[in-house]
């Protein structure tokens, strides 16, 4: 986090690491099938984009597009869907946008807090009227 409380450096660093890993996959794997690229992307690249994301979740459009660009490039590696638009590629590959994944994760965590799945006092997080 920077002095002005912005997370753009964190986004840039996460994207840089993820792009490096994507480059490793691109250089070292000649099989560009869905069955090869998707497990590699999900296990080696995407964790860099989602590590501690509840804390630094990007909310500026430029940061959202920067992070989403990694998944866009990853899906372009797959031969069968390379020529489709991004929205069609993720649909065909049964993926969600990273932004939707972050929102889904936020909703799941909120549900867990409200329903006392953690040993937390939910009234510290939410103002609840009875």
Give per-residue pLDDT as tens, 33-76: 999 999 999 999 999 988 877 666 777 888 889 999 999 999 99
Distance CA 114, CA 92 (A): 35
For residue 115, count CB atoms less than 10 angstroms from its CB and return exposed for 0-12, middle for 13-18, buried for 19 or more: exposed
What is the mean predicted confidence (pLDDT) over 88-93?
A: 96
pLDDT of 17 reads 94
């Amino acid at each position: 986090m920077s002095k002005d409380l912005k997370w753009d450096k964190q986004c840039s660093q996460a994207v840089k690491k993820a792009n490096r890993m994507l480059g490793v996959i691109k250089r070292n794997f000649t099989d560009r099938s869905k069955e090869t690229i998707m497990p590699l992307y999900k296990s080696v690249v995407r964790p860099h984009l989602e590590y501690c994301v509840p804390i630094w979740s990007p909310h500026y459009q430029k940061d959202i597009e920067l992070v989403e660009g990694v998944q866009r490039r990853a899906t372009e590696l797959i031969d069968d869907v390379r020529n489709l638009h991004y929205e069609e590629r993720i649909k065909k590959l049964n993926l969600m946008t990273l932004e939707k994944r972050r929102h889904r994760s936020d909703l799941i965590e909120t549900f867990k807090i409200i329903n006392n799945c953690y040993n937390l006092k939910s009234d510290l997080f939410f103002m609840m009227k009875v």
